[in-house]
A and B are shown apart, each in its own frame.
Chain A
Amino acid sequence: MRGNNVLGILFAYVHEERVRELTENRVMASIPYGGRYRLVDFPLSNMVNSGINKVGVITETNYQSLMDHLGSGKAWDLSRKREGLYLLPPFGAETTRRTDARIETLSSIMRFLKNSHEDYVLLSDCDLVANIDYRDVFRFHTEKNADITLVYRRGTSPDTDKNCVYTIDPEGVVRDMLVKRGSDADCNYGLGIRLISKDLLVKLVEDCMSRNLYDFDRDLLQRCLPDLRVVGYEVTGAAYPITSFGSYFNANMALMDPKVRAQLFTSTQPIYTKVRDDMPVKYGLGSVIGNSIVADGCFIDGEVENCVLFRGVQVKKGAKLKNCVIMQDTVVGENTRLDYVVADKNVIFEQDRSMAGHQNYPVYISKGSRV
């Protein structure tokens, strides 16, 4: 059955500076991932699969590719008369946002928030690849009688200085939270997903605005810890925060593990994406392929090993690809060799080219380049 009492809000743009290469022409949310997805597909599909049927997507700049991807929201079943998908660009009816500070952003969509009849709001960033059932988060929130629930994962932090690190007591209550930190040892790092009642969110945002406080983590969440009941919900299993170019590469490569794929792509909670109506992959005579993910519309005549190939990629005869992530419609010419290369969309590698990066430093080729 559809419908629950939760409104979804996606911050499509946050943390773009962490993967500057990939966000030059697009927002964080529309970074291609895993052969056929964009990062937004994960939080958006999770929301829809969890019964959330009203989602607002907040954008800042560069959001054309995201609008193109989301369209009316049909692919996520969000194109409907009751509720559905709402794009919230910076130029609203009454306000024009000038900063990408989250609190000001939320303040600028106050009317949207207040007009929504849902009692709860799930706020999510678009930099996490994971399949999470938010119904479990909601249940936890209710059981713990929480004011705010923060979703975290336990392990070594993805970065040394970019995480929210929580101290959580055995009850599940967040006792302390450090912003922009990391840890060598196991820690509880935030995944950028928060559940909060709508009235409380409105109150906290208005309070911050009236005090000239703009940092969501420091000024809103951290300040709440002493007075409100903030709890942590632990996610186990596959979850890949995209916090750097390296982590983006590794998150793609993680898909070669059948266990990871089984956790990310379940038949009961599928990840939806825009349909492109490509034909199935055509493998030619003499093609050699191993340990690779290949999306529809590819033509493979060369050799491919440990690669993620997006829709419509062409690998010509004699080409050898190893440890590469090749995005939509890129063409790899005859006898070209690539190793540890991330090629953006519509790149053309001519014949007999050779390029190699390193495991720690894959080479990035920007959108539409000709090599």
Chain B
Amino acid sequence: MLPKQEVVAMLLAGGQGSRLGVLTKNLAKPAVPFGGKYRIIDFPLSNCVNSGIETVGVLTQYQPLELNEYIGSGQPWDLDSTNAGVHILPPYQRNKRSDWYKGTANAICQNIPFIERYNPDYVVVLSGDHIYKMDYSQMVAFHKEKDAACTIAVYEVPMEEASRFGILNTREDDSIYEFDEKPKVPKSNKASMGIYVFSWDKLKKYLIADDEDPKSQNDFGKNVLPAMLEAGERMFAYRFEGYWKDVGTIESLWESNMDLLDPNVSLDLNDTEWKIYSRNPVMPAHYVAKGAKVQNSLVAEGCNVYGEIDFAVLFAGVYVAPGAVVKDSIVMPGARIEEGAVVQYAIVAENSVVGANSVVGERPEAMENKDDWGVAVIGPGCTIAPGTVVPPKAMIDAEEVDK
């Protein structure tokens, strides 16, 4: 028996993230690069460590290779301790009823034995597609104070956008009386952040009941939480203030990266008390050449900048040639922007090459029909031939380029 852990975190990292297109073709969404040197999963993992949670189970299913490699022993996040730490939990074969993870609840249900080893009082369920800094220990304290069975973190969104979210309707004391999935006429603006704290004995009971129901889709939002509410369990909404963004789409991923360049956005990655840890590349400090123009940008180690960048996020080892221009764009690790190329409102994925004098993306104000505008995406490992024009909203896949 391992030493008791009061709180165990379970991180749902198995989804495909199909809305990110080529970026997640061969990569699980939580492993998508973010913010110059991070990957999305660094945020929940760092939040766990900074909140004092020492045991994290990462549930993987879709394209886990790079994600597994990235997490490794968990050492970059201090999650490599002897009796706790981070554990990768893929679906596995058992002597009867082997199955893939059928839904978010089923993924946790299949790992009840893992959780039980730590004999926890509380289980925190997290997802791997949000950018935010949050002290989960405060949420757990709130959960204890309310003597709740389940606490759901909520974010107050503008009322006019509330119909895009899963909305929680609450009473005065923050107890939840109704779930409203994408309501046409929202009664509240409290959107679920997909962050749950459960009392383990309650969660276990409902997971087992859910597993025995053949009609259930084994999903937290659709099945387990409504079942708990219906049974009259104490469920509370925990209000979160601060920066929070779902980066499940190309637009939101792009926007969230650009938010890092906005001095008015409250996401501070330089806070020594709440560092976001990541696996650091082994590269020298970056070099900016004479004649380069650099403004409003984030530039990581190993970059060589000879051209012009403005509102750009350059990841480790990016090369921007003389005369190349990168504006309002994200350039992921190891990518090269060759001479005279113009990249604007675009995401250039890992190890891609944008050939000389190519044009990728377009400024929205230069478009006649605004509906045709969107962020252009160059998939991982693409080589864009010199002089190519890649229109806005395009999504270039390396395998199709080769054909």
Q: Which residues of A contact B (CB under 8 A)?
A: 34-36, 74, 255-256, 258, 261, 264-265, 270-272, 275, 277-287, 289-297, 299, 305, 308-310
Contacts and interface: CB of A to CB of B under 8 A. Distances in A.
24 contacts: A36-B285, A74-B75, A258-B304, A271-B282, A277-B76, A277-B275, A279-B37, A279-B270, A280-B35, A281-B286, A281-B300, A282-B261, A283-B294, A283-B295, A283-B297, A290-B289, A291-B289, A292-B288, A294-B287, A296-B300, A299-B270, A305-B290, A308-B285, A310-B285
B296 interface: yes
Contacts of B314: 280
A295 B301 contact: yes
B301 A296 contact: yes
B294 A289 contact: yes
Interface string B160-195: 000000000000000000000000000000000000
B95 interface: no
Contact of B278 (A261, A277, A309): A277
B299 interface: yes
A36 B284 contact: yes
- Which 7 A-B pairs have CB atoms at the shortest separation, nearest pair first? A35-B285, A280-B36, A295-B285, A279-B269, A280-B300, A291-B290, A270-B282
Interface of B: 35-37, 75-76, 261, 263, 269-270, 275-278, 280, 282-292, 294-301, 304, 313-314
- Looking at chain B's contact residues, the main secondary structure is loop
Contact of B284 (A35, A285, A287, A309): A35
Given A287-B295, A295-B301, A297-B270, A279 B287 contact: no
B285 A289 contact: no
Contacts of A294: 285-288, 299
Contact of B280 (A74, A277, A282): A277
Contacts of B295: 283-287
B9 to A, nearest CB: 20
Contacts of B313: 280
B287 A256 contact: yes
Given A258-B304, A289-B292, 11 more contacts: A35-B284, A258-B287, A279-B37, A280-B313, A281-B298, A282-B297, A284-B263, A291-B289, A293-B285, A294-B285, A295-B285
B288 A291 contact: yes
Contacts of B270: 278-279, 282, 297, 299
Given A279-B36, A291-B290, A284 B285 contact: no
B294 A287 contact: yes
Contacts of A35: 284-285
Nearest to B305: A289
Nearest to A35: B285
A279 B277 CA distance: 9
B203 to A, nearest CB: 33
A325 B76 CA distance: 29
Contacts of A292: 287-288
B295 to A, nearest CB: 6
B399 to A, nearest CB: 26
Nearest to B270: A279
B6 to A, nearest CB: 26
